[in-house]
């Protein structure tokens, strides 16, 4: 059975990505980073999602990006207000975490090489998103090239590790519809950057706004995000 490493944050997009990888027949190894995010409740949600889709293994790796700072997601400042024109690549908000996807993909690459996995799946999306540079196709292509040059697998090994972002060109509504089709339990996922103690979404941050728009446009009712025992 072909293996894949799936970057799983506990959010909507990565849950749908895991569901997609499963539907394609991959043995799925889910990887979550505890990087010092303020919304670390997503880590426990990732575990539930991994279990729901029969991931072979779910690994949580600590990498303290909070020690570098540079983002409201790894600090204590108030979250920025929702912008009028989110997704503008010339206006990257304070929720951007420097080099986060580079770090996450490099960890996935390490595991993929050890597992002899063929693919790294990432839920990156370049449509209804916040304009982060490390969610764009050209970034992901550059990473795949790097993965070939920087591994034993890609040089003298017998296989290339590919990077797949099946949602890269989907709107949030399309992602919701795909998730529904693939049987994603939306109640397990959490999108909010600033959730309450029980995982209750703030309904005020950009991530909440994108989620709300997606469900609304898809004509699907979002499930309550409060899960017993988080």
| CB closer to its own copies out of 25 and 92 | 92
CB of 79: closest distance to its own copies in angstroms?
A: 17
Smallest separation (angstroms) from its own copies to the CB of 140: 9
Rounded Cα distance, 84 and 138, in Å? 26
Enumerate binding residues for its own copies (CB under 8 A): 59, 61-65, 67-70, 89-92, 96-103, 105-107, 109-111, 113-114, 133-134, 136, 138-139, 142-143, 145-147, 149-156
For residue 164, the cross-strand partners are 121
In the complex with its own copies, which residue's Cβ is closer, 113 or 128? Answer: 113
DSSP element (H, E) containing 34 = strand 27-34
- Judged by DSSP in three states, 30 sits in strand
CA dihedral 211, 178, 104, 89 (to 10 degrees): -50
Q: Could you tell me the smallest distance in angstroms from the CB atom of residue 230 to its own copies?
A: 23
Burial label, 76 (beta-carbon count in 10 A; 0-12, 13-18, 19+):
exposed
Q: How far is the CB of 110 from its own copies (least distance, A)?
A: 4
Token couple for 81: 């207000």
Q: Assess contact for 170 and 125: CB atoms under 8 A.
A: yes
Instruction: Between 64 and 169, name the residue whose CB sits nearer to its own copies.
Output: 64
Q: How many residues does the chain have?
A: 230
Q: How far is the CB of 225 from its own copies (least distance, A)?
A: 29
- Looking at the Cβ atoms of 136 and 177, the one nearer to its own copies is 136
| Least CB distance to its own copies at residue 141 (A) | 9
H or E stretch covering 4: strand 3-7
- Decide whether 114 or 198 has the Cβ nearer to its own copies: 114
Instruction: Note whether 4 and 117 are within 8 A (CB).
Output: yes
């Amino acid at each position: 059975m072909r293996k894949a490493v799936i970057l799983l944050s506990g959010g909507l997009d990565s849950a749908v990505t895991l569901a997609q990888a499963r539907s394609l027949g991959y043995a799925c190894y889910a990887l979550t980073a505890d990087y010092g995010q303020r919304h670390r409740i997503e880590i426990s949600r990732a575990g539930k999602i991994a279990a729901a889709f029969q991931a072979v293994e779910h690994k949580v790796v600590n990498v303290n990006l909070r020690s570098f700072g540079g983002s409201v997601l790894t600090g204590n400042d108030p979250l920025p207000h929702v912008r009028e024109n989110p997704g503008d690549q010339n206006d990257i908000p304070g929720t951007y975490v420097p080099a986060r996807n580079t770090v996450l993909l490099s960890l996935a690459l390490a595991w993929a090489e050890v597992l002899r996995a063929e693919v790294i799946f990432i839920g990156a999306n370049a449509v209804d998103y916040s304009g982060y540079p490390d969610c764009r196709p050209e970034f992901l292509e550059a990473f795949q090239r790097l993965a070939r040059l920087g591994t034993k697998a890609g040089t003298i090994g017998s296989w290339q590790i590919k990077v797949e972002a099946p949602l890269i060109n989907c709107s949030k509504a399309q992602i919701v519809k795909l998730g529904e089709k693939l049987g994603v339990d939306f109640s397990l996922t959490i999108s909010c950057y600033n959730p309450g103690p029980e995982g209750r979404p703030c309904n005020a941050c950009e991530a909440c706004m994108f989620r709300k728009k997606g469900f609304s446009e898809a004509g699907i009712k979002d499930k309550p995000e409060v899960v017993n025992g988080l």
